[in-house]
Amino acid sequence: MEAKIVGDMLPAVVCKLKKGESVITENGGMSWMDDSLEMKTTTNGGIMKGIGRAFAGESIFMNVYTANEDDAEIAFSSSFPGQILEFDLKEGETIIAQKKAFLCSEKTVNIKMQFRKKLGAGFFGGEGFIMQKITGPGKVYLEIDGNVIKRELKEGEKIKVDNGYVAAMTQDVKLDIETVKGVKNILFGGEGLFVTSLKGPGTVYLQTMPVSKLASLLYLGGAQR
């Protein structure tokens, strides 16, 4: 499968398939396609696997698009202003992503829910109990809110992130929550009671405008009118 990402603030990934190749997305994810592509709706691994994906923010049913001719084109657009990230995962290689990040992938890619191991990280970490665990082999495309900042963390290196700004990370990165220190900081700092901590080694992908923050700003702006 060949693919290219087009567009700026509202990008799309355009895939070109050879005859017999397939690409998979959640239902309703396709934007446009050639007539030579055939769609099949499936749970992609059984109903229990579909329910697991639903907990991770995706749909129970997935759509598989298979090319009946060479150079069949199909596109998947981002649902929010931001960027699309491409990962070409090797066999067994894994990316952990925020809920609803998955856009499309080759059929060989496995998507399931990833439980946060610590209760605190689930209750207060902003990313919730459940994230998406995406394992290769194959290409996968994730939609990210706003712009993407990539950070390479060394062994033991740690950064603190406001809730909701973690878009994706490699499997070795440790995610936890920390309490903001100082009564004044908690009451007047505007960052809340907890922040997310990420500890290396590994790669972290941060997003500059989480949907949750934008929704909160729009709500507050509307309430003040």
Model confidence over 36-77: pLDDT tens digits? Answer: 999 999 876 655 555 555 555 556 788 999 999 999 999 999
For domain 2-223, the CATH architecture is: 4-Layer Sandwich (3.60)
What are 219's two structure tokens? 């709500």
Measure the CA–CA gap between 60 and 49, rounded to whole angstroms.
Answer: 8
Tell me the domain boundaries of the chain. 2-223
pTM of the model: 0.82
pLDDT at 141 over 60: yes
3-state secondary structure the chain: CEEEEECCCCCEEEEEECCCCEEEEECCCEEEECCCEEEEEECCCCHHHHHHHHHCCCCCCEEEEEECCCCEEEEEECCCCEEEEEEEECCCCEEEECCCCEEEEECCCEEEEEECCCHHHHHHCCCCCEEEEEECCEEEEEEEECCEEEEEECCCCEEEECCCCEEEEECCCEEEEEECCCHHHHHHCCCCCEEEEEECCEEEEEECCCHHHHHHHHHHHHHCC
Q: Is 85 a residue whose pLDDT tops 80?
A: yes
